[in-house]
Chains A and B, each alone.
Chain A
Amino acid sequence: MSLKYLGNYADWIKPEWLREVLDTPGPQIPKDYRVHEEMVQKAILGNFDEDNWEEEHKDWQQMSYEYENNVFFVMFDAPDVSFNLLEDRPPFLEFDGPFAWWITKLEPGKFTPMHRDSYSVTKPTYKYWMAWTDWEPGQVLMTEDDAIIKYKAGDVYKFEDPFILHGAANAGQLTRVALQITTWRPNRGIV
């Protein structure tokens, strides 16, 4: 299976982080994607990589979804919230170097279409998924060979193949929040 369970690290999640994510509307993807991406890149990198954006934009547009003005999910990067996980390094990371992180919030009926992260990798890449809310029926994290349910807040899964097809959905009745961490995200300066 492409997802490996690493353990539960619920104690590391500060309640105020989750509360802030739940209480903040946040950028809606893909509707706000362009504006949000430019803001985040300028905040983190000092400039906006227009060419890279166009490439990523093409990937999304090639999905068989209505793209313009649609809302799949809400995404929080470091500049969107008052906390920064670089200052509270997650205890489950298996490396010492830098990492990129973002949080996805899926309200009932929202989803992340199946997709692959960038293929362009030249060194070992780590990718993790951590639930910040308990699983409830209707919520799922999927890869091309696995479907993760019945997780608890704090459960961490490692992507054995960080570039595998994956997605998530919430057909339940409560909001689902999850943290993503990767060591390959050029548009956040992590390569």
Chain B
Amino acid sequence: MNFIGNYATWIEQEWIDEILSNDGWTVPRDLSKDPQVQLNEDERKWFSSGYKMSDHFFSAFYKDDCSFEITPPWSPQSWDWWIVKMMPGQFIPVHGDLAMATRKNAKSYWMPWQDWKDGHIFMYEDQTVINYKKGDVYEYDASIKHCAINIGSVPRIVLQVRSYE
């Protein structure tokens, strides 16, 4: 995980309010509604480990789900983004975003929209990310196994950005 910088002043409170007050996509339950979604090998392993397709790991908000536009201030060239809302007791199991390994100069960024709270954690390979600040931006290799967990008492909101050449 490479720390890029802090961009807290760029985050609008109304974005956070919108995410908190809306449902987004229920992952993985809603994935079956999109025929274009193909689970990768890591994700398929979830369901042989006891996780269920009907589970609610977290809520995802894509561009079409939000009233606001996102232009990351650290200026990746071409990019996709989505926002993850994890309520207390939610998590995303360990996985690698395997498609990232095949993209040319692909970069992944992770940006929390609130200061670190007890029970919130991002785990990447054999590292843990806690004690972060709202607006911190980390670059990481998303093809390497990672996961996130919220066993705290408040929702956890994170912006995910993928840039490609």
A78, CB-defined interface residue at 8 Å = no
A147–B119 Cα distance when bound, in Å, is 10
Give min CB distance, A191 to chain B, whole Å. 27
Give min CB distance, B154 to chain A, whole Å. 7
A21, CB-defined interface residue at 8 Å = no
- Whether the pair B153, A114 counts as a contact (CB closer than 8 A) is yes
Q: Which residues of A contact B123 (CB under 8 A)?
A: 137-138, 140, 149, 171
- Whether the pair B151, A137 counts as a contact (CB closer than 8 A) is no
Give min CB distance, A170 to chain B, whole Å. 9
Q: Which residues of A contact B49 (CB under 8 A)?
A: 108, 172-174
- Whether the pair B93, A111 counts as a contact (CB closer than 8 A) is no
A182–B91 Cα distance when bound, in Å, is 29
A131, CB-defined interface residue at 8 Å = no
Q: Which residue of A lies closest to B146 (CB)?
A: A137
A144, CB-defined interface residue at 8 Å = yes
Give min CB distance, B45 to chain A, whole Å. 6
User: How many chain B residues touch the partner (CB < 8 A)?
Assistant: 28
Taken residue by residue from 38 to 78, chain A's Cβ proximity to chain B (1 for < 8 Å, 0 otherwise) reads as 00000000000000000000000001111000001000000
B74-103 with Cβ < 8 A to chain A: 88-89, 91-94
Taken residue by residue from 136 to 179, chain A's Cβ proximity to chain B (1 for < 8 Å, 0 otherwise) reads as 01101010100101100000000000000101110111100000
B161, CB-defined interface residue at 8 Å = no
Known: A114-B151, A140-B128, A167-B151. A65 touches B121 (CB 8 A): no
A113, CB-defined interface residue at 8 Å = yes
Q: Which residues of A contact B126 (CB under 8 A)?
A: 137, 149-150
Q: Which of B50, B118, B149 touches A107 (beta carbons < 8 Å)?
A: B50
- Whether the pair B149, A63 counts as a contact (CB closer than 8 A) is no
- Whether the pair A63, B153 counts as a contact (CB closer than 8 A) is yes
Give min CB distance, A31 to chain B, whole Å. 14
B28-43 with Cβ < 8 A to chain A: none
Q: Which residues of A contact B51 (CB under 8 A)?
A: 108-109
Can you list 21 A-B contacts with CB-CB less than 8 angstroms, sorted by A residue number?
A63-B153, A64-B153, A65-B89, A72-B89, A108-B93, A113-B88, A113-B152, A113-B153, A114-B151, A114-B152, A137-B125, A137-B147, A140-B128, A142-B118, A147-B121, A147-B128, A150-B126, A169-B151, A171-B91, A171-B123, A172-B49
Contact surface of B with A, Cβ cutoff 8 Å: 45-46, 49-51, 55, 88-89, 91-94, 118-119, 121, 123, 125-126, 128, 130, 145, 147-149, 151-154
New contact pairs (15) apart from A142-B119, A142-B130, A168-B151, CB-CB < 8 Å: A72-B89, A107-B50, A108-B46, A108-B49, A108-B50, A109-B91, A113-B88, A137-B126, A140-B128, A147-B128, A167-B151, A171-B92, A171-B148, A172-B94, A172-B147
The 10 residue pairs across chains A and B that have the minimum distance between CB atoms? A138-B94, A173-B49, A114-B119, A147-B128, A171-B147, A171-B91, A108-B49, A169-B149, A167-B151, A137-B94
